[in-house]
Chains A and B, each alone.
Chain A
């Protein structure tokens, strides 16, 4: 608007100020491609972004992950760039694992807690340089990250909007990347990062994913998003590349035994009820806690809870008889006493097992591991069919594939 532009009248002004209501959900940098591929028009909201629940067929999309190459838009994932001379020390105080052990061009999975040891979120931490990191997670944490920066020389920058992300997962994902010209990608070991030129910029490729399969995640500036998509799409044609929605990915992640914040546990800042918060040990993340490293948020509370044995819950993998997914079923001990809740459950197409992730109230899952049952309510033509099915605690991941870690990966 310049000085010659006539001023808006009041109504136009109000209308202009609320133009956001015309696009109630944000569109990701890949939206143009997704909408062109969407046959089902089935969308959901991921952190305010319009994201596909499925694009053409949930099962076929799932089998793209396990049989060929699946392309999944992860742009809505919350991303922070953390840099500065104290970045390592800052992140070491913020998160559970020892960041000093995270090499440059490496990624690790981690989580972070509040002062009471309650998990705020889990996510992946990318070390892009000596003093530069990227933290990816489900929920937004800018106030917490900024408050944590007191006393540290560190710059925290939210880059969710400006950085586009793609996950390329499946047995032919490496072959697809090679066909797209990213040669050298085959040398990446799990959790390695490398940068490649793309157009006028670079794309950062890491061998990471949420599927327990061979797979990669690609990050690129928003402006280069569509050209990157096209490059992969073109290269992947002979490798069976398919765009997928969250339903397919969710099946794969349950097989992988991965948990999702505010699905399998409630994050400390989202929990409204005092007993819904969780310590790392209560959601299967005890292995992230490093008591030997320098002080970190929640350390005292977590170690005290371990010492005093005041941990109240435990997260377990279950294998359930039959083939009916036990989603949100109550877990019983001896068919009578309530012992917990299933937070995610599927019939696993790859394991050919009926699997679930559940939170149990200790001592169930710790001392009493037998005689566990789940009560499944299957709604069949307007009548619930109730089933009491035996559940067995089994280790996660439910699906373990040699190709996930094989380097160099097989070419197809």
Chain B
């Protein structure tokens, strides 16, 4: 019961209380921040899932960049609706993940982490070199998402005609985030999640009971990258531009840190981690040149004292994946 209550409070907060607060205080810049948090948490959720099969993934920036480019190219050059390009961006990122994942997912521990760290740079360089991505100039002036109507009923309004596209993006990002984490929760508590846990704990034993571990690994990596692609595509649409530097190695590292900070044992860890990390960085802005020092010291202290993440404080009403 307490879980359902928590869910209702959470939904009311993001869909009613936050827009209400912004309207009352007039701080519409909060929309941009919170939209970013929602989208980054989607990509972080993907990273969290690769942690769940025992792989340290520092390459999510690569898939976010791929998603952003695929969506931008489909919208500007092919001329299809953004709403169609969004899932296609995710699927394309997932397809790339399958091709890359087949060889590299055999690696474990720090070896996989190192290879994944390279991926972001590889995608950045590829984007610089390919004609279709327009090199360093990137893709700019991407139109805002158009409207969608079914049987004459407007399901999604044209963002360009809206008075406040920021609010629209905020709602879109929140809906996507809620869908992502609902799916993650379901996945982790379904058979695939159980198999992931068995592989995380012992791959040899998992294969001895008949689990096709290379297949499960690739599936999970593909889902992870799908989420990265979706997050990246949304970002590109909000910024209305994509550059090779839109997602960098530092972003990939942040995606991973979000998971660590929130807690690797909790499905909702990446969401909390992203929120705290994003706002934490901004709040330390006042410290000027000491910002990075204070920020990294706090991260180290957090990891020392809460190695299982913020959610391991076990606040009442917080949902746990492993119970």
Partners in one complex: no
Residues of A at the B interface (CB closer than 8 Å) are none
Residues of B at the A interface (CB closer than 8 Å) are none
